[in-house]
Amino acid sequence: MSSEPEPSTDTPSVPSSLARATRLCPDASGQSGRVLKAYLLQNAPEYRVLDALRQKGWENKAGDTFFAKQRQQADHADEKTVRFFYNMMKGIASEINRATGALRVHVKWPGRARILDFCAAPGGFLETAMGMNRGAEATGFSLPPTHGGHEIIMPLGPAVTFQYADVTMFAADMGFTDIPQDNPEAESFELVPHIQDGQRFHLVFCDGQVLRTHVRAAYREHWEARRLAATQLAIGLEHVSLGGTMVVLLHKLDAADTVGLIYTFSRFSTIQLFKPTRAHAKRSSFYMVATNIQSNSPLAREAVESWKQMWRVMTFGSDEERKNKVAEDHMDEQMLVEQFGPQLVRLGREIWDIQARALEKAPFMQAGQNGHRTTG
């Protein structure tokens, strides 16, 4: 689990068939993002306040210093810092459950709750969820420390199956075993599934983020955020139980791809959005909590296949093919605001309000008024 303050916001959004029917190619009109932002400015007062504060922040170098310090702490965490983040994540998990009730799994006796965590280390989320579900079993993965990942420090008992692994290399789980031999990492892809076909989980955490400390091949650099998101979403949704829950870490609720992803999940599950009032308050990050997921829905299966194809193109395609895939999956913003706009405003009010209040009170918003960025 990463403590990155402002990671990339690249997010696989919608199933390709829906996107093809409604998409607006970002380069076609130069209007990408403008339709959605204009709608939010007109219909969401909380977003208007946040947008104004963001503009103020861009004129202030003190904000750069604040977030640079956070990045430094995340990239060079000592044992004390890791323990702090571990406890922080336990607190966030408890906050999410108090707000949504999503971490308590309801399983018919004599079943056992089963939990899947794609980016478990240091373990605060998973340990909290295990404590809320007596007798639960868990499967967890996390990037190896030797590759720049975090150490797992939660107690690992017999109920937890944990493995250090780069989940973006789970080729078999993503449905691809015919690896091009000219790929620089051809020998590193996992060709045996880590999760079996019939294996289902009641609760799935998809909160992995790309780490700056991650040692990886150069060809992955620009596309790694999409590869990681597609991996977690595809495998997670494919293996979540009928009626189960997924907790997904997202960024920038005014980004079209983020909104498209939430809209996609809203078509086969019940959506809640949650932003911790402390750890994530100043950042663009928040959690989507999808409950009562109808994982057998054709729309859900279509989404899984779309994310698998996104992973394939981002991993094995040329740069041109990757750019075309991103454009292909970009949802038409006009259609998005027409079909999902009112629900987005309702879901997002508290998210934008929390961030706006935190930014307004942040010391760096008052500091550095004499040191403006050069924007020319």
**Mean pLDDT across the stretch 167-175?**
97
Contact criterion met (CB below 8 Å) for 1 and 82: no
Collapsing DSSP to helix, strand or coil, 287 comes out as: strand
| Least reliable range by pLDDT among 116-130, 142-156, 303-317 | 142-156
CATH assignment at residue 124: 3.40.50.150
Residue 248 maps to a domain: yes
pLDDT tens digits for range 245-302:
999 999 999 999 999 999 999 999 999 999 998 788 989 999 999 999 999 999 999 9
**Mean pLDDT across the stretch 25-29?**
33
Residue 5 maps to a domain: no
Contact criterion met (CB below 8 Å) for 20 and 328: yes
Q: How far apart are CA 98 and CA 254, in angstroms?
A: 26
Q: How far apart are CA 307 and CA 100, in angstroms?
A: 27
**Mean pLDDT across the stretch 97-118?**
91
Residue 327 has pLDDT above 80, yes or no: yes
Q: How far apart are CA 346 and CA 257, in angstroms?
A: 18
Residue 17 maps to a domain: no
Residue 139 maps to a domain: yes
Predicted TM-score (pTM) of the model is: 0.86
pLDDT of residue 362: 82
pLDDT of residue 73: 56
Residue 25 maps to a domain: no
| R_g (Cα) of the chain, nearest Å | 20
pLDDT tens digits for range 214-249:
567 778 888 989 999 999 999 999 999 999 999 999
Q: How far apart are CA 272 and CA 136, in angstroms?
A: 24
Q: How far apart are CA 318 and CA 326, in angstroms?
A: 12
pLDDT of residue 60: 61
pLDDT of residue 26: 33
**Mean pLDDT across the stretch 22-33?**
40
Mean pLDDT of the chain: 86
Q: Which residue is listed with tokens 């219909």?
A: 43
Residue 41 maps to a domain: yes
pLDDT band at 150 (very low <50, low <70, confident <90, very high): confident
Q: How far apart are CA 309 and CA 175, in angstroms?
A: 9
pLDDT of residue 101: 96
The H or E element that residue 117 is part of is strand 114-117
How many domains does the chain fold into?
A: 1
Contact criterion met (CB below 8 Å) for 164 and 149: yes
pLDDT of residue 56: 82
Contacts of 364-371 spanning 24+ positions with Cβ under 8 A: 364/57, 364/60, 364/62, 364/63, 364/65, 364/66, 365/53, 365/56, 365/57, 365/60, 365/62, 365/63, 367/60, 367/62, 368/60, 368/61, 368/62, 368/63, 368/65, 369/60, 371/60, 371/61, 371/62
pLDDT band at 59 (very low <50, low <70, confident <90, very high): low
Residue 195 maps to a domain: yes
Residue 72 has pLDDT above 70, yes or no: no
Residue 242 maps to a domain: yes
* Domain assignment of residue 295, given as a range: 34-364
Residue 311 has pLDDT above 70, yes or no: yes
Residue 18 has pLDDT above 80, yes or no: no
Q: Which residue is listed with tokens 């079996």?
A: 196
